[in-house]
């Protein structure tokens, strides 16, 4: 059997032999949580910040990626002197349950020496991901996280952390997120899933044994998702109607000939993605996102999810994000207000779309840095004063 490309990497991980019981009722007999940490845990174990990654992110938030060689994925936010200052905080980032960078998921064997789970991997929820992270945090002897921070699906996890473990989260920062996945977002995910399962190399999910991966289907899924991560303005500014290469007139374009730059860019996004991601994992995680509806876990009443909470919240949205638009962050902030919580909400003007949370946005650094600084004072954290 061919090894998946990410197989050879020895991801740092914690193994929980008592497993994990999932929302679907199934019990995973063995739970592995792959993670990375940055900085040092203080003696009081009170300076831990958990970073939750998005759909296609992973635990390598603050270092060169071992597979792609690219820089840290949140180099605008996590690092020395940055808002999540690795010289002040103990930063933890874990690969989500269902992911493909070492945590238990479709790519991992059911039991040591057995075949990968593949599509037999049970359906998971965002709350399952958070429960797995909780076990990791417990294993560090950390009773309360100073902050939980994440964008997009990472923001969904932040919400679940605050709703499920309110006593264990001092500050929560959901960025470019929503309390549920909308019909349009589900629809875009479903297109991607159909592209994957339509690829003959998908082979009903049993492709690990064939040596062929459903790369073309996964690339198409990545392409359509990538469009939703960018704003119309960003695409127009970046590419407009510029032609690839030798700039022929549009009329000379053949059906398979010269292309617009935006097409070449998307194709590149698709083809590089398949080298680092697993198709079954993409199916499992998009399903978890689609199923996310925090209010439905609390009798349809979003404020009830946070009743009596003492967690301090900062919601951040971006003006040109049409995947998780500002109105969703505002609705969550209002729900928190109705729960009498300590909540701030900032919409950042940006034309970069959903992806703005990963990009160079000085306003994000300023807002996040200020919020964390204030929280550190309230939390009585030493060594974090400006």
Would you please indicate which residues are annotated as catalytic (active-site) residues? 152, 321, 354
Q: Among 34, 78, 262, 279, which residue sits at the site for a copy of itself (rule: CB under 8 A)?
A: 262
Q: In the complex with a copy of itself, which residue's Cβ is closer, 12 or 21?
A: 21
Cβ(97)–Cβ(14) under 8 Å?
no
State phi, psi for 151 to the nearest 5 degrees.
Answer: -110, 150
CB 26 within 8 A of CB 124: no
Q: How far is the CB of 144 from a copy of itself (least distance, A)?
A: 28
Is residue 188 near a copy of itself by the rule CB under 8 A? Answer: yes
**Shortest separation between residue 251's beta carbon and a copy of itself, angstroms:** 4
190, 349, 360, 382: residue in contact with a copy of itself (rule CB under 8 A)? 190
HSE toward the beta carbon, residue 90, CA cutoff 13 A: 18
In order, the DSSP letters of 292-323 are -BGGGGGTT-GGGGGTT---EEEEEEETT-SS
Residues in region 1-60 near a copy of itself by CB under 8 A? 23-25
Q: Closest distance between a copy of itself and the C-beta of residue 128, in Å?
A: 9
Coil, helix or strand at residue 248: coil
Under rule CB under 8 A, how many of the chain's residues touch a copy of itself?
Answer: 61
The DSSP-derived string for 19-64 is -EE-TTS-EES-EEEEEEEES---TTS--EEEEEP-TT--S-TTS-
- Measured from the CB atom, the residue of 167 and 233 that comes closer to a copy of itself is 233
Q: Which is nearer to a copy of itself, 16 or 260 (CB)?
A: 260
From the list 17, 81, 114, 241, which residue makes contact with a copy of itself (rule: CB under 8 A)? Answer: 241
Binding mask 263-302 for a copy of itself (x = CB under 8 A): x--xx--x------------xx--x--xx-x--x------
Q: How far from chain centre, in Å, is Cα 296? A: 21
Q: Binding a copy of itself by CB under 8 A: which of 198, 211, 360, 377?
A: 198
Give me the 105-144 binding string for a copy of itself, x by CB under 8 A, dash otherwise: --------------x-xxx-x-------------------
Straight-line distance from the first to the last Cα atom of the chain, in angstroms, rounded to the nearest whole number: 54
Residue 220 binding a copy of itself, by CB under 8 A: yes
Instruction: Name all contacts of 111-114 with Cβ < 8 Å and 24+ positions apart.
Output: 111/29, 111/30, 112/30
200 binds a copy of itself (CB under 8 A): yes
Q: Do 117 and 124 touch, CB atoms closer than 8 A?
A: no
Helix (H/G/I), strand (E/B), else coil: 15: strand
Enumerate binding residues for a copy of itself (CB under 8 A). Answer: 23-25, 119, 121-123, 125, 180-184, 186-188, 190-191, 194-195, 198-200, 216-217, 219-220, 223-224, 227, 230, 232, 235-236, 238-241, 250-257, 259-260, 262-263, 266-267, 270, 283-284, 287, 290-291, 293, 296, 322
């Amino acid at each position: 059997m061919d090894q998946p490309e990410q197989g050879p990497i020895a991801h740092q991980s914690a193994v929980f032999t008592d497993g994990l019981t999932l929302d679907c009722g199934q019990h995973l007999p063995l739970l592995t949580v792959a993670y990375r940490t940055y900085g040092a845990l203080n003696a009081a174990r009170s300076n831990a910040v958990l970073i939750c990654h998005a759909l296609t992110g992973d635990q390598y938030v603050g270092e060169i990626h071992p597979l792609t060689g690219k820089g840290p994925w949140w180099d605008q936010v996590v690092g020395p002197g940055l808002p999540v200052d690795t010289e002040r905080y103990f930063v933890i980032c874990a690969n989500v349950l269902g992911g493909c960078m070492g945590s238990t998921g479709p790519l991992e064997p059911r039991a040591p020496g057995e075949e990968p789970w593949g599509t037999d991997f049970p359906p998971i929820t965002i709350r399952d991901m958070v429960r797995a992270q909780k076990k990791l945090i417990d294993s560090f002897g950390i009773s309360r996280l100073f902050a939980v921070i994440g964008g997009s699906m990472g923001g969904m996890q932040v919400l679940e952390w605050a709703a499920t473990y309110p006593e264990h989260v001092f500050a929560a920062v959901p960025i470019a997120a929503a309390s549920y996945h909308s019909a349009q977002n589900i629809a875009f995910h479903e297109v991607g899933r159909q592209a994957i399962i339509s690829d003959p190399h998908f082979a009903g999910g049993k492709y690990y044994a064939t040596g062929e991966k459903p790369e073309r289907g996964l690339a198409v899924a990545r392409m359509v998702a990538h469009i939703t991560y960018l704003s119309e303005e960003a695409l127009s500014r970046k590419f407009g109607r510029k032609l690839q290469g030798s700039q022929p007139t549009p009329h000379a374009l053949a059906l398979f000939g010269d292309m617009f730059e935006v097409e070449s860019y998307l194709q590149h996004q698709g083809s590089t993605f398949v080298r680092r991601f697993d198709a079954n994992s993409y199916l499992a995680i998009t399903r978890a996102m689609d199923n996310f509806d925090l209010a439905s876990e609390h009798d349809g009443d979003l404020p009830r999810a946070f009743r009596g909470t003492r967690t301090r919240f900062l919601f951040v949205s971006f003006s040109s994000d049409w995947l998780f638009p500002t109105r969703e962050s505002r609705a969550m902030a209002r729900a928190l207000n109705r729960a009498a919580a300590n909540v701030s909400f900032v919409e950042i003007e940006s034309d970069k779309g959903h992806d703005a949370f990963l990009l160079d946005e000085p306003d994000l650094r300023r807002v996040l840095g200020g919020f964390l600084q204030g929280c550190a004072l309230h939390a009585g954290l030493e060594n974090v004063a400006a």
